[in-house]
Amino acid sequence: MLEQKDEQLLIDLTSARGVPGNEEVREVFKTYAKDYADEIIFDGLGSVIAKHGQDENSPRIFISGHMDEVGFMVTKITEKGFIEFQTLGGWWSQVMLAQQVEIKTREGKLIHGVIGCKPPHVLSVEARNKPYDIKDMFIDVGGSSEEEVKSWGVRPGDMITPYIEYKRLNDSKFLLAKAWDNRVGTAVALRVLENLAKDGHPNQLFAGSDVMEEVGLRGARTSTYLANPEIAFALDTGTAGDTPGMTPKEADSVLGKGPQILIFDASMVPHKKLLNFVTDVAEELEIPFQYTVIAGGGTDAGQMHLTRQGIPSLAITVPVRYLHSHTSVIHEDDYLNTVKLVTEVVRRLDRTTVDQILSY
């Protein structure tokens, strides 16, 4: 089972709000990182990096999650006090209706609401049999007019996040929360930083969390440029294939069977020698892992590997059920084994090993 401090980290990270461009999660990261970092630095967009290790001749290793979650932005308050919104990140309309949300105003006030639409009773049979269009949805905050809702401090551009409380599902190892994508990757980066700061490592470690991944891997481009690493790892989430209805081809990742190592995704073909190095470490130490292909998505490694002169990169991900929804689920063993694997990989990336990986 998770230690209490690990579980509290996960609670703090998933409870924080942070849509692309409004990532308040940065404050949680700074709080947890400050005792283990030699310095904490930021790129111009707000990505945060905790550095540990001062030997300038040691290799520069970058490990990073992303701190933003899929969410929404207020675009308009209607005459009758309903909220029109813009999605931030990829949403499937069928997981949105009747879900609760919170709007955070500039002054910090939280406005509770629910996503609504026309009742199905007034829709045609044809319309009821189709997914409801996101552009026709709205948020009901219990206001009676535009003036009333404005008086609460709501204005266009305000952040809207899913509303849900972290739960351990029935004393199991399955953990329910919003925003596992990608607060769990951020948690991994923080725990690896702590492990290596305490036990030692042969490199300059840059442990970070990027902004705006969900809208095009934007923060990874700027944070990787700032860190200027020789090797980089994106710590993210991947789809689980262990729920009813999945075909054998789709069911290649199972919760509880270890981190996923991406051998291909839509944003990157991983560096072969780095991939082999990581899987060799996992096999030597008997850390369970799963090979994964994500043909329809990418991770921050897609930008990491294209930065500056090209950075050998790899994505290591935690499998998640019900990604990009209010209610996603992970298995705690996958989180713990991802921390263990990344810790041991970074610990072994000394100058000789990095030079061998970079040698052509």
Residues 124 and 224 in one domain: no
Residue 254 lies in a domain: yes
| Domains held by the chain: number | 2
Please tell me the predicted confidence (pLDDT) of residue 32: 98
Q: Is residue 170 part of a domain?
A: no
Is 55 marked within a binding site?
no
Beta pairing partners, 328: 177
107 is an active site residue: no
Is 284 in the same domain as 330? Answer: yes
Domain closes at, from 118, 138, 162: 162
CB atoms within 10 A of CB 148: 15
- Which of 162, 197, 216 is where one domain is finished? 162
* Same domain, residue pair 9 and 95: no
Both 205 and 223 in a single domain? yes
One of 23, 213, 230, 332 is an active-site residue; which one?
Answer: 213
- Rounded to 5 degrees, what are φ and ψ at 349? -90, 70
Q: Which residues contact 211 (CB under 8 A, 6 or more apart)?
A: 20, 21, 23, 45, 46, 47, 66, 67, 68, 218, 219
- CATH of residue 191's domain is 3.40.630.10
Q: Mean pLDDT over all residues of the chain?
A: 96
Per-residue model confidence (pLDDT) at position 225: 98
Q: Residue 70: what pLDDT?
A: 98
289 in Cβ contact with 260 (< 8 Å):
yes
The answer on whether 326 is annotated among ligand-binding residues is: no
| Residue 36 maps to a domain | yes
Instruction: Determine whether the annotation assigns residue 305 to a binding site.
Output: no
Q: Is position 271 annotated in a ligand binding site?
A: no
The annotation status of 181 as a binding-site residue, yes or no, is yes
- The CATH number for 94's domain is 2.40.30.40
Q: What is the pLDDT of residues 325-356, one digit of tens each?
A: 999 999 999 999 999 999 999 999 999 999 99
Structural domain containing residue 293? 4-69+178-358
Given this model, what pLDDT does residue 129 score? 81
- Whether 236 has a pLDDT exceeding 80, the answer reads yes
Distance, CA of 336 to CA of 344 (rounded, Å): 12
Of 162, 190, 211, the residue at which a domain comes to its end is 162
- The predicted pLDDT at position 218 comes to 97
